[in-house]
Amino acid sequence: MAKSKTRIASNVKDKELINTRRGELVNAAVKLFVKKGFHKTTVREIAKEFGMSMGALYDYIRTKEDILFLVCDHIHQSVRNKLERSLSSEKDARENLKNAIRDYFTIIDEIQDYTLLLYQETKSLKHKDRNYILSKEMELTNMFENIIAQGIKDKTFKISRRTAKIVANNIMVEGQMWSFRRWEIQKNYSLRSYINTQTELILNSLT
């Protein structure tokens, strides 16, 4: 959440404390946003869930939209950090892609409510903040596209660079689908079987 803190004003000077409190604030807010919806949740309710007075809360954020921005930024940073750890230049493109899909889908499973909220409420952000969040989404998509591009270069994958962009976007949506269609998907698949099935379909589309 380091980058997001520079976009949102705070009365607190301790950077570490800002990160800690905002992380806790994100967790408290998501519960309410998912339960009641972003627009029906009040800042007062968030402060109560957070266990902090309204005045203290405003030391860390200015508006309810700031909280939504922090939630969206937290999601993308969490996914990016995990994906970066899963990639290794010592492995071939096929293995890197399999690892990246596995880790991406796994973290989506861990933050299902966050992902659902992101899918539903990004439109509620201010224009510049929405563009920032969408740019972060594209950064994640580009990570998959770059792996596929490497596979095209070394002839592991038999598709065009243009098609690689579509496949990378498909991977992003298929991961998110585990969350926003969980009412159907999770009745029929365990996380492992879902990952295995989707990975097989994706790899088959590349050869």
Query: Each residue of 31-68: pLDDT tens digit?
Result: 888 888 888 888 889 888 888 888 888 888 888 888 88
Can you give the CATH number for the domain in which 150 is found?
Answer: 1.10.357.10
pLDDT of 5: 45
Same domain, 171 and 77: yes
Same domain, 144 and 53: no
Given a cut of 60, is residue 17 above it in pLDDT? yes
Question: What distance in Å separates the CA atoms of residue 1 and residue 66, rounded to the nearest whole number?
Answer: 12
Can you give the CATH number for the domain in which 59 is found?
Answer: 1.10.10.60
Answer for the pair 176, 115: CB distance below 8 angstroms, yes or no: yes
Question: What distance in Å separates the CA atoms of residue 72 and residue 89, rounded to the nearest whole number?
Answer: 29
Which residues constitute the domain of residue 58? 2-63
190: CB partners within 8 A, 6+ apart: none
Last residue of a domain, one of 41, 63, 85: 63
pLDDT of 164: 96
Cα atoms found within 13 Å of the Cα of residue 172, Cβ hemisphere only = 21
145: CB partners within 8 A, 6+ apart: 164, 165, 167, 168
Q: How many domains does the chain have?
A: 2
Last residue of a domain, one of 45, 63, 81: 63
Q: How far is CA 165 from the centre of its chain?
A: 19
Given a cut of 50, is residue 2 above it in pLDDT? no
Amino acid, single-letter form, for residue 91 = K
Question: What distance in Å separates the CA atoms of residue 139 and residue 144, rounded to the nearest whole number?
Answer: 9
Given a cut of 70, is residue 151 above it in pLDDT? yes
Q: What pTM does this model have?
A: 0.80
Given a cut of 70, is residue 129 above it in pLDDT? yes
